């Protein structure tokens, strides 16, 4: 049995994108529908939230220490965060300027400093989403189409990238080369029956893949060969994503949504559990200054 602790009844409409920030001893996450950025600090359980003019869909620390790379509804930006809240430093790219109905949805960085980010039709009708690789200022579409692109996750050895089409109820696996080329796309896990829909996910240090079940109120851990290893029930049905954090990376934080679930007291809350395995250190975007190629 796993004890599931409610850390914050944040009442997020669509809580998503949890990311552990070691230097802040904090978990950051977003409320996409509610246009909020939220922070929970581990040492003193301090909670902060900021209303934002344009929905934040994901954010990833920059390796140079200067804030974050963030996916807003329609653009990728350099973002800084201080006590007064987030501020956009500069715009990075608008890879879907020709698709005004689309928005970004979820992203992860890998150990090489690349970011993998997905998009989707905000109305959840058109199959117009894509998977992008962001490396430096280059944004390259590497796979499409998706109904709801979700939950990139990278195996500990970096050789496998997992990506989900929530609408198709399928988690895919790709072979990933050291230079970021994807190949051998295959079905890794398919949700059926009362499984709900696969949403956000992350890998642990042993190669297990943790997947949030939208509509089914649980997390599942799958082994590298796709076999189900365990299920953990949560007191909210719309489970959206998960991320490891804490000093030892042995705490698993879970976001949820209250969209369509106003009757559930804990819908939209932030939860924590200790699953008995450790996560991977959170990867950052770009290379630290010491690794940059001199010009």
Is residue 199 among the annotated active site residues? yes
Cβ neighbours around 251 below 10 Å, total: 20
Q: Say which of 199, 204, 225, 262 is annotated catalytic.
A: 199
Report how far Cα 41 is from the mean position of its chain's Cα atoms: 19
* CA atoms within a 13 Å half-sphere pointing along the CA-CB vector of 195: 19
Task: Identify the helix (H) or strand (E) that includes residue 209.
Answer: strand 209-214
> Is 208:229 a contact under the CB 8 Å cutoff?
yes
> Is 93:117 a contact under the CB 8 Å cutoff?
no
Gyration radius of the chain's alpha carbons? 17
Q: What angle do CA 130, 135, 141 make, to 5 degrees?
A: 20
> Is 255:186 a contact under the CB 8 Å cutoff?
no
Q: List the beta strands (DSSP E) in 15-114.
A: 15-21, 26-31, 36-41, 47-51, 56-61, 68-72, 76-82, 85-93, 102-109
Nearest residue to 211 via CA among 157, 168, 170: 170
Residues recognised as catalytic: 199
């Amino acid at each position: 049995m796993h004890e599931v602790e409610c850390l914050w009844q944040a009442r997020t409409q669509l809580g998503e994108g949890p990311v552990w920030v070691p230097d802040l001893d904090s978990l950051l996450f977003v409320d996409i529908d509610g246009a909020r950025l939220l922070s929970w600090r581990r040492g003193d359980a301090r909670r902060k939230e900021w209303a934002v003019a344009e929905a934040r869909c994901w954010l990833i620390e920059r390796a140079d220490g200067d804030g974050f790379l963030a996916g807003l509804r329609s653009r990728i930006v350099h973002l800084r965060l201080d006590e007064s809240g987030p501020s956009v430093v500069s715009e990075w790219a608008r890879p879907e300027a020709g698709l005004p109905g689309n928005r970004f949805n979820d992203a992860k960085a890998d150990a090489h400093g690349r970011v993998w980010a997905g998009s989707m039709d905000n109305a959840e009708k058109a199959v117009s989403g894509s998977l992008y690789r962001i490396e430096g200022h280059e944004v390259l579409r590497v796979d499409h189409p998706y109904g709801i692109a979700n939950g990139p996750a990278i195996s500990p050895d970096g050789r496998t990238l997992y990506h989900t089409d929530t609408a198709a109820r399928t988690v895919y696996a790709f072979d990933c080369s050291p230079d970021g080329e994807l190949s051998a796309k295959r079905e890794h896990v398919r949700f059926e029956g009362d499984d709900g829909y696969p949403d956000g996910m992350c890998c642990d240090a042993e190669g297990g893949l943790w997947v949030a079940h939208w509509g089914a109120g649980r997390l599942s851990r799958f082994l590298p060969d796709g076999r189900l290893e365990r299920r953990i029930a949560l007191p909210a049905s719309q489970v959206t994503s998960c991320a490891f954090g804490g000093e030892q990376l042995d705490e698993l934080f879970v976001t949820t949504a209250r969209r369509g679930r106003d009757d559930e007291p804990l819908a939209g809350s932030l939860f924590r559990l200790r699953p008995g395995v450790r996560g991977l250190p959170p990867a950052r975007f770009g290379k630290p200054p010491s690794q940059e190629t001199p010009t």
